[in-house]
Amino acid sequence: MIKKKQFFLIFLLLGVLLIAVYLFTNRNSVPTHSMETYKTEDGWGYKILKNNKPIINQYRIPAIQEKHAFPSEKSAKIIGEKVLERIQSKKRVSISIEDLMELMVIDSLQQPILTE
């Protein structure tokens, strides 16, 4: 009877220890996000990466009716950095037409602005 209790206690302590190690290692492994631009057939796009794995691949200007690639690397980078900033600050990630106009990626007619 005592051996069963000792075995159960050791098994329970080992389980608690494994759970504690798992939780501690996951808490310290904060995911790192990054952004990179890339050339497309029609223009430019950007990727948001989490621990070097793509989680967002945006090859068109978001929020506008027409399907346009980013006309320059600079415009893709501006929006990619805005999305990355929002992810890191745990804010709403989506990009609005107002965001695009404020960052001078589109004009008031929702047409892409070519920036160098």
Domain boundaries, the chain: 1-30, 33-102
In this structure, are residues 102 and 76 in contact, taking their beta carbons and an 8 Å threshold? no
Q: Tens of pLDDT along 25-77?
A: 666 556 699 999 999 999 999 999 999 999 999 999 999 999 999 999 999 99
Mean pLDDT of the chain: 88
The arrangement of strands across the sheet holding 53-58 comes to: 33-39, 44-50, 53-58
What is the number of other CB atoms lying within 10 angstroms of the CB of residue 39?
A: 11
The pLDDT score that the predictor gives to residue 35 is 97
**Residue 73, CA atoms < 13 Å, CB-side half-sphere:** 5
